[in-house]
């Protein structure tokens, strides 16, 4: 039989496609004569018209422009929201797909077996669960200043949002008040193409349990002075107001030069009976309620008896290490962002926990030194960014020779190869449990336990 001829697909082509499954990251998967097309904004069973946005030898990417025939599982979205692409799937399907994708990653990418995949922990709140939202300023076609999110796939176009369904009412009101104040002053948005103009981002962060609010306004470096923001703090009603001048053209809100315009430079949140200080530049899990469950699971997997030396790598403001400390002999935390380590040290003091030590450093370079200073860990917790652990870090972890490794992962496609490397080195993957931190989105968090076999 002849091999099927691959239909040539070009960037800009409009295709009619039927989606048969969902890929990691949430795109629909469709096939044209065996050639895979990843289709944004489409779910299994949908027939869509989609425009090709990227073409590679092995696959193409496309964006849905018209839904021709909805799939049988599709439900009405609550409201248009670029941050909630899976709201067209019933919640039970979202979590079932996430559990399947974890299994799929472990088996197909990691070739792992013999572990127990425990039932996914569903989210307590399916909407308004985020304690931090990063918005972008933009300009509407009629010239009006707007504040919302990037249109899907666009670095330039901003879609205004009136009610962000992932934020609390207080968070929404802080954004609306900020926008009102900026409009009244006649301030203009930063033009991402021309790289001119002023207002870039607005970050609203909330202590969900403490009610504390931080508003951070990010501008370009256009000769503004702090007094240009007189009245802003009163208008937005937040206990912490920070102004950041971004120094480069990228869209990231981290970095730049920050100045506290009003109140404190950090807010506080409560988690697992502890109180945490969170600086503007420090990472903090965006779903407070589910972070508590995630850390509870990490503690269960750590199985501490009270005498162990625990390493908390990629520790942020120390949340996991401090949660484990009362059940451990000692805890050593390592994190690259210095402000986060300052928070971690302050958090230990504030919670009167004295068997912890936190250090600023790159895990890749500083882990060996930590082992030399403290001795090898009995339990090692890692919670890396989406990119997972580099091969070098995996080698350093293996050298450190912990008895147990608790791996908190926000990306099963990097957990799987990392777990496979550790299994190769003599660890056994025992248990894995997904936790739904991000309803209405394809993002997957899970905790895994590896033990020296």
Residues that bind ligand SAM (CB under 6 A): 283-285, 314-316, 319-320, 334-337, 340, 362-364, 383-385, 410
Question: Taking a C-beta distance cutoff of 8 angstroms, is the pair 198, 222 a contact?
Answer: yes
User: Based on CB atoms, which residue is closest to ligand SAM, 31 or 395?
Assistant: 395
**Residues 6 or more apart whose Cβ sits within 8 Å of residue 344:** 315, 316, 317, 318, 321, 322, 333, 335, 356, 358
> Strand 445-452 to strand 59-69: parallel, antiparallel, or no bridges (unpaired)?
unpaired
CA–CA distances in Å: residue 329 to residues 113, 190, 315, 375, 428: 33, 51, 18, 13, 25
In the complex, minimum distance from the CB of residue 119 to ligand SAM, in angstroms, rounded to a whole number: 22
SS3 278: strand
**CA distance linking residue 133 with residue 293, whole number of Å:** 21
User: Based on CB atoms, which residue is closest to ligand SAM, 297 or 363?
Assistant: 363
In the complex, minimum distance from the CB of residue 393 to ligand SAM, in angstroms, rounded to a whole number: 7
In the complex, minimum distance from the CB of residue 366 to ligand SAM, in angstroms, rounded to a whole number: 8
User: Based on CB atoms, which residue is closest to ligand SAM, 248 or 362?
Assistant: 362
Q: Which of 436, 429, 447, 452 is nearest to 116 (CA)?
A: 429
User: Based on CB atoms, which residue is closest to ligand SAM, 229 or 276?
Assistant: 276
Nearest residue (beta carbon) to ligand SAM: 316
CA terminus-to-terminus distance, the chain: 48
**Residues 6 or more apart whose Cβ sits within 8 Å of residue 411:** 386, 387, 388, 444
In the complex, minimum distance from the CB of residue 409 to ligand SAM, in angstroms, rounded to a whole number: 9
User: Based on CB atoms, which residue is closest to ligand SAM, 192 or 208?
Assistant: 208
User: Based on CB atoms, which residue is closest to ligand SAM, 268 or 335?
Assistant: 335
**CA distance linking residue 57 with residue 385, whole number of Å:** 29
Question: Taking a C-beta distance cutoff of 8 angstroms, is the pair 402, 394 a contact?
Answer: no
- Calculated CA dihedral for residues 258, 262, 263, 266, nearest 10 degrees: -20
What's the full length of the chain, in residues? 453
In the complex, minimum distance from the CB of residue 256 to ligand SAM, in angstroms, rounded to a whole number: 16
CA–CA distances in Å: residue 81 to residues 63, 100, 149, 150, 163: 16, 25, 9, 10, 10
CA–CA distances in Å: residue 129 to residues 114, 126, 210, 288, 373: 34, 7, 15, 8, 40
Question: Taking a C-beta distance cutoff of 8 angstroms, is the pair 435, 290 a contact?
Answer: yes
- Would you call 147 a catalytic residue per the annotation? no
In the complex, minimum distance from the CB of residue 337 to ligand SAM, in angstroms, rounded to a whole number: 4
User: Based on CB atoms, which residue is closest to ligand SAM, 220 or 285?
Assistant: 285
Instruction: Name the active-site residue from 164, 182, 315, 410.
Output: 410
**Residues 6 or more apart whose Cβ sits within 8 Å of residue 206:** 131, 132, 168, 170, 171, 212, 213, 214, 267
In the complex, minimum distance from the CB of residue 277 to ligand SAM, in angstroms, rounded to a whole number: 13
In the complex, minimum distance from the CB of residue 5 to ligand SAM, in angstroms, rounded to a whole number: 45
**CA distance linking residue 171 with residue 132, whole number of Å:** 8
**CA distance linking residue 208 with residue 286, whole number of Å:** 10
CA–CA distances in Å: residue 137 to residues 158, 167, 182, 218, 329: 7, 17, 10, 9, 48
SS3 420: helix
User: Based on CB atoms, which residue is closest to ligand SAM, 89 or 432?
Assistant: 432
**Which amino acids are annotated catalytic?**
410
């Amino acid at each position: 039989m002849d091999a099927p001829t691959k239909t040539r697909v070009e960037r800009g082509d409009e295709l009619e496609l039927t989606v048969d499954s969902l890929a990691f990251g949430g795109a629909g998967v469709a096939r044209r004569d065996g050639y895979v097309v990843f289709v944004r904004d489409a779910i299994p069973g949908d027939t869509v018209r989609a425009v090709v946005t990227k073409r590679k030898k092995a696959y193409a990417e496309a964006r849905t422009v018209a839904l021709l025939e909805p799939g049988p599982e599709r439900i009405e979205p609550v409201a248009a929201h670029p941050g909630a692409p899976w709201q067209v799937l019933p919640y039970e399907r979202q979590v079932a797909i996430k559990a399947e994708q974890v299994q799929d990653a472990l088996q197909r990418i990691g070739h792992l077996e013999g572990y127990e995949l425990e039932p996914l922990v569903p989210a307590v709140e399916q909407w308004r669960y985020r304690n931090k939202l990063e918005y972008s300023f933009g300009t509407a076609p009629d010239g009006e200043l707007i504040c919302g999110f990037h249109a899907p796939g666009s670095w330039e176009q901003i879609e205004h949002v009136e009610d962000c369904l992932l934020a609390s009412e207080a968070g929404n009101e802080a954004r609306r008040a900020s926008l009102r104040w900026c409009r009244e002053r006649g301030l203009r948005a930063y033009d991402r193409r021309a790289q001119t103009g002023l207002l870039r981002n607005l970050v609203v962060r909330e202590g969900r349990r403490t009610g504390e609010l931080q508003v951070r306004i990010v501008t370009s470096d256009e000769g503004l002075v702090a007094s240009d923001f007189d009245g802003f703090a009163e208008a937005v009603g937040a206990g912490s107001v920070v102004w950041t001048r971004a120094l480069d053209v990228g869209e990231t809100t981290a970095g730049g030069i920050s100045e506290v315009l009003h109140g404190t430079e950090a807010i506080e949140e409560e988690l697992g009976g502890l109180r945490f200080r969170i600086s503007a530049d420090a990472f903090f899990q965006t779903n407070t309620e589910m972070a508590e469950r995630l850390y509870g699971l990490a503690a269960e997997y750590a199985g501490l008896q009270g005498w162990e030396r625990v390493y908390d790598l990629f520790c942020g403001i120390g949340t996991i290490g401090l949660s484990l400390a009362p059940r451990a002999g000692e805890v050593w935390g390592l994190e690259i962002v210095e402000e986060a380590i300052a928070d971690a040290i302050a958090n230990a003091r504030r919670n009167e926990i004295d068997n912890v030590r936190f250090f600023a450093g790159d895990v890749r370079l500083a882990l060996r030194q930590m082992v030399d200073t403290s001795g090898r860990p009995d339990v090692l917790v890692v919670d890396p960014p989406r990119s997972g652990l580099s091969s070098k870090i995996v080698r350093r972890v293996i050298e450190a020779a912990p008895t147990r490794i608790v791996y908190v992962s926000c990306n099963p496609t990097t957990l799987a190869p990392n777990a496979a490397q550790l299994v190769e080195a003599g660890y056994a993957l025992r248990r894995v449990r997904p936790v739904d931190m991000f309803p209405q989105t394809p993002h997957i968090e899970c905790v895994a336990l590896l033990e020296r076999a």
